[in-house]
Chain A
Amino acid sequence: MDNAATTRPYDDVLDTYMNVNRSYYFNTASIHQAGREAAKLLEASRRQVIDLMGLGNHDCVFTSGATESNNIAVQSVLRHKKPFGRTMLISELEHPSVINVAEAMKDEGFNVRYIRALSDGTVNMAHLGELLDDDVVFVTVMAVNNIVGSIQPIEKICEVLKQYPRVHFHVDATQAVGKIRVDYSEADSVSISAHKFHGVKGVGALMAKEVKTLSAITYGGGHEGNIRSGTVNLPGAAAMARALRISDEQLDESYTRVAAYNRQVREALDGFHAVQIQPSGVPHIMNISFTGAKGEVVVNALGSHDIFVSTTSACASKLSKLNETLLAMGNTQPVIEGSIRISFSSQTGDAEVKRLITALQAVHNEIGDVLK
């Protein structure tokens, strides 16, 4: 129940990963016949990713994941845009792989301004309008938030930014892929990460409309158009292309199914006075607070029932500070401290959800006396 942290690869995806490792293990930069075949497979994978993302006018650079994609986008585009302005706007809901690199860019003379969030976990469009001025060259907003699942108004933001042709709009689509369909075609760059949609770990992509605005942040042999050096992870890239196709094919069916699971959990917890559930975005992510308890305690209690959930964004859950997203949505400290995240995937089944509900009710009874 922790699929927003990572997902189990589809069996077909693992088949591809193994088969490509067996038959196409060559370096895509080699000029011999075998290397050329591998390069062809890489390009076919690239085209499939671009097509499935609906980004026919974008180029695609394979990376090690969304963290690297976000880093390349933020660092290289800002440096490229420096002559035109020095301010970037990021939503306060962003993942650390955006926030932390943005903060680091302050050392290079850039300003970071945060777009406030509404209580439903979406960015405040009015505030975005206030923040936009001639010095803004970069705006980034995630497509789906990883803590509460709120869906950000990407298309609306694109519409607003049309009046600011100088602004590069970057979208971190990590949590959206395979869950909802978004029209990214107006975005200047988009990050994705394979392991969030049943691909393998260690591979992702950065798609960009104007690839010349991107540049390397690590230096090496000049792979991937000199933007991301290092022998290309072809098995991972091909497996990602396949995972994306399967995710896309099952999206409508699984959305309906997961939306029903979301409703079942909400109904089952209805009337538990200490339980507070954050407003829903994508049905795959639910953020539930056992007010008065510590999130960690709830996670461990559920763990003893063999139910695995997370406290906050898993990459950062070892940090003991209040969750930024929940804070930005105006939640109180007890609600934030008692929050857990339950996240479903296309592979989640009825029986698992039944067990989850039973476990949630049991845990509520077990720790009931600490709950106010």
Chain B
Amino acid sequence: MIYDHILVRYGEITLKTRNRKMFINALRQNMKRALADFDVELNAHWDRAYITLGDEAPGAVMDALENVNGILSVSPVAKLERSEAAMKDTAVHFANGFGEGDTFKIEVKRADKSYHLKTFDIQQMLGGYVLDNVPKLEVDVKHPEHQIMVEVRIDGIYMYHEVRQCIGGLPIGTGGRALLMLSGGIDSPVAGLEVMKKGVEIEAIHFHSPPYTSPQATEKVKQLVDIMSKRTGADIKLHIVPFTELQTKIYDWIPDNMSMTTTRRIMLIIAERLAKQVDAKAIVNGENLGQVASQTLASMHAINAVTNFPVLRPLLTLEKNEIVAMARNYGTYETSVLPYEDCCTIFKPKSPKTKPVVEKVEKFESKVDFEPMIEKALAGIECYSVNDAEEKEAFRSLL
């Protein structure tokens, strides 16, 4: 039994009409990148895409497509000659893989209306043949556990039964670019991946304060970027900002209970400037209403006052256990909970203000000239991306 195609069903692309072509082109590019290691042929049509497998294993190709944004589901497909015998053999082959007592149904689509058998004839013929040859099964046309799909086309008959759900959403790159504030905690990677679902390309910004924060903490954030990149097929660029000087200045000059607010404000100022540099149209973070002192409504108000950029907070109203479940599903959780302190936890004030007042914060901040330090931090940004890292590895022996 040989599968020779993978059928790719589109997610939200199907809601698009006049600009659908642009979305399909983006998805084609992303699929191409995800399938770079395979020797396959890709044909993206108006309503679905087909991948011709050649000698590649269908399972591995589907694994590679599973997390490509914009794909609703994939199925391995067998293409047969247009004969009854071929249909019967294939149907029984599929059915042998079903469990004891499972229910099934035969679904038929006749794209080629000239075929000598009608829909109902094919259903009856195959249903009966399967029941005769695989006695462990039953038919259920309302809620079957398995559907054997038959598509009659001019060039052959296509059959499949397995449908693997994928991530859905829109292809990355169709929704512009945003800058994700990535701390290394549980929430921010999830926030990034949620936004990416909507086709937004992400670059990430991380603040580290050596020697107060360890190299392992930075390594952990790089690992998160690796996981996110691998999952989405996008090469996410990480910008690592040296924050020690600003952090210690804040610590020395701003009253303890307001230091957290100022820290966040300066981070947001730096994020906004970087966003402009990389042509990002929004800033994304993992803030969750009321989770910690800096994420109360009053704190968000005081912190947000430094920027006019849209700040997207996709996790705003979720419960922590929901976010954890999402992180586990995305595969970021295990890395996020590694016990390395980031710069926010190390300089944590004893009792941060939960209701900071903008005017007061500004008054204290006006006593210090943060500008040159902000410029210096921006100039000292180090970049990291999976591609770069892989390239470095590949060329290490030469350079």
Which residues of A pack against B, CB within 8 Å?
A: 16, 19-20, 40-41, 43-45, 47-48, 56-57, 238, 241-242, 245
B395 and A41 within 8 A (CB): yes
Chain A to chain B contacts (Cβ below 8 Å), 11 pairs: A40-B391, A40-B394, A40-B395, A41-B398, A44-B392, A45-B399, A56-B379, A238-B399, A242-B398, A242-B399, A245-B399
A241 and B399 within 8 A (CB): yes
Closest Cβ–Cβ distance, residue B8 to chain A (whole Å) = 24
**Closest chain B residue, CB of each to CB of A43:** B391
Q: How far is the CA of A245 from the CA of B398 in the complex (A)?
A: 11
Contacts of A245 in B (CB 8 A): 399
Q: How far is the CA of A124 from the CA of B204 in the complex (A)?
A: 48
Among B379, B388, B394, B398, point to the contact of A19 (Cβ < 8 A): B398
Q: How far is the CA of A242 from the CA of B398 in the complex (A)?
A: 7
B379 and A238 within 8 A (CB): no
**Closest chain B residue, CB of each to CB of A245:** B399
Q: How far is the CA of A47 from the CA of B394 in the complex (A)?
A: 14
Q: How far is the CA of A20 from the CA of B392 in the complex (A)?
A: 15
**Closest chain A residue, CB of each to CB of B396:** A44
Closest Cβ–Cβ distance, residue B264 to chain A (whole Å) = 27
How would residues 363 to 399 of chain B score, 1 for a CB under 8 Å from any chain A CB and 0 otherwise? 0000000000000000110000000100110110011
Among B379, B380, B391, point to the contact of A44 (Cβ < 8 A): B391
Closest Cβ–Cβ distance, residue A90 to chain B (whole Å) = 29
**Closest chain B residue, CB of each to CB of A244:** B399
Contacts of B392 in A (CB 8 A): 44
Q: Which of A40, A48, A57, A241 has the most CB of B within 10 A?
A: A40
Contacts of A43 in B (CB 8 A): 391
Contacts of B394 in A (CB 8 A): 40
Contacts of A47 in B (CB 8 A): 388
Closest Cβ–Cβ distance, residue B199 to chain A (whole Å) = 26
Q: A44-B392, A48-B399 are in contact. List 5 more A-B contacts (CB 8 A).
A: A41-B398, A44-B399, A45-B399, A56-B379, A242-B398
How would residues 174 to 210 of chain B score, 1 for a CB under 8 Å from any chain A CB and 0 otherwise? 0000000000000000000000000000000000000
Main secondary structure of the interface of A (DSSP, over half): helix
Closest Cβ–Cβ distance, residue B387 to chain A (whole Å) = 9
B398 and A238 within 8 A (CB): yes
Q: How far is the CA of A44 from the CA of B394 in the complex (A)?
A: 10
**Closest chain B residue, CB of each to CB of A15:** B398
A20 and B398 within 8 A (CB): yes
> Taking A44-B399, A48-B399, A242-B399 as contacts, is the C-beta distance between A57 and B379 under 8 angstroms?
yes
Q: How far is the CA of A56 from the CA of B379 in the complex (A)?
A: 9
Closest Cβ–Cβ distance, residue B314 to chain A (whole Å) = 33
Closest Cβ–Cβ distance, residue A118 to chain B (whole Å) = 34
**Closest chain B residue, CB of each to CB of A235:** B398
Q: How far is the CA of A48 from the CA of B395 in the complex (A)?
A: 11
Contacts of B388 in A (CB 8 A): 47
Closest Cβ–Cβ distance, residue B390 to chain A (whole Å) = 10
Q: How far is the CA of A242 from the CA of B397 in the complex (A)?
A: 10
Closest Cβ–Cβ distance, residue A68 to chain B (whole Å) = 23
Closest Cβ–Cβ distance, residue B253 to chain A (whole Å) = 27
Contacts of A242 in B (CB 8 A): 398-399
Closest Cβ–Cβ distance, residue A50 to chain B (whole Å) = 12
**Closest chain A residue, CB of each to CB of B395:** A44
Closest Cβ–Cβ distance, residue B139 to chain A (whole Å) = 51
Q: How far is the CA of A16 from the CA of B391 in the complex (A)?
A: 16
Q: How far is the CA of A41 from the CA of B392 in the complex (A)?
A: 9
Q: How far is the CA of A16 from the CA of B394 in the complex (A)?
A: 13
Contacts of B391 in A (CB 8 A): 40, 43-44
Contacts of A41 in B (CB 8 A): 395, 398
Contacts of A57 in B (CB 8 A): 379
Q: How far is the CA of A241 from the CA of B399 in the complex (A)?
A: 6
Q: How far is the CA of A57 from the CA of B388 in the complex (A)?
A: 18
Contacts of B398 in A (CB 8 A): 16, 19-20, 41, 238, 242
Q: What 4 pairs across the A-B complex have the smallest Cβ distances?
A: A44-B395, A241-B399, A16-B398, A44-B391
B379 and A16 within 8 A (CB): no
Contacts of A16 in B (CB 8 A): 398-399
Q: How far is the CA of A47 from the CA of B379 in the complex (A)?
A: 16
**Closest chain A residue, CB of each to CB of B387:** A40
Q: How far is the CA of A238 from the CA of B392 in the complex (A)?
A: 13
Q: How far is the CA of A245 from the CA of B397 in the complex (A)?
A: 12
Q: How far is the CA of A61 from the CA of B382 in the complex (A)?
A: 21
How would residues 59 to 100 of chain B score, 1 for a CB under 8 Å from any chain A CB and 0 otherwise? 000000000000000000000000000000000000000000
**Closest chain A residue, CB of each to CB of B390:** A40
Contacts of A44 in B (CB 8 A): 391-392, 395, 399
Closest Cβ–Cβ distance, residue B393 to chain A (whole Å) = 10
**Closest chain B residue, CB of each to CB of A185:** B379
Q: How far is the CA of A40 from the CA of B399 in the complex (A)?
A: 12
Contacts of B380 in A (CB 8 A): 56
Q: How far is the CA of A41 from the CA of B399 in the complex (A)?
A: 9
Q: How far is the CA of A245 from the CA of B379 in the complex (A)?
A: 23
Contacts of A45 in B (CB 8 A): 395, 399
Closest Cβ–Cβ distance, residue B35 to chain A (whole Å) = 14
Contacts of B379 in A (CB 8 A): 56-57
Closest Cβ–Cβ distance, residue B206 to chain A (whole Å) = 17
**Closest chain B residue, CB of each to CB of A48:** B399
Closest Cβ–Cβ distance, residue A110 to chain B (whole Å) = 32
Q: How far is the CA of A238 from the CA of B399 in the complex (A)?
A: 6
Q: How far is the CA of A19 from the CA of B398 in the complex (A)?
A: 8
Closest Cβ–Cβ distance, residue A234 to chain B (whole Å) = 10
Closest Cβ–Cβ distance, residue B243 to chain A (whole Å) = 17
Closest Cβ–Cβ distance, residue A187 to chain B (whole Å) = 15
Contacts of A56 in B (CB 8 A): 379-380
Closest Cβ–Cβ distance, residue A359 to chain B (whole Å) = 39
Contacts of B395 in A (CB 8 A): 40-41, 44-45, 238
Q: How far is the CA of A41 from the CA of B394 in the complex (A)?
A: 9
Q: How far is the CA of A238 from the CA of B391 in the complex (A)?
A: 13
How would residues 7 to 21 of chain B score, 1 for a CB under 8 Å from any chain A CB and 0 otherwise? 000000000000000
Contacts of A20 in B (CB 8 A): 398
Q: How far is the CA of A41 from the CA of B391 in the complex (A)?
A: 8
Contacts of A241 in B (CB 8 A): 399
Closest Cβ–Cβ distance, residue B242 to chain A (whole Å) = 12
Q: How far is the CA of A40 from the CA of B389 in the complex (A)?
A: 12
Q: How far is the CA of A44 from the CA of B392 in the complex (A)?
A: 7
Q: How far is the CA of A43 from the CA of B387 in the complex (A)?
A: 12
Q: How far is the CA of A41 from the CA of B397 in the complex (A)?
A: 12
**Closest chain B residue, CB of each to CB of A23:** B398
Q: How far is the CA of A16 from the CA of B388 in the complex (A)?
A: 20
Q: How far is the CA of A115 from the CA of B318 in the complex (A)?
A: 68
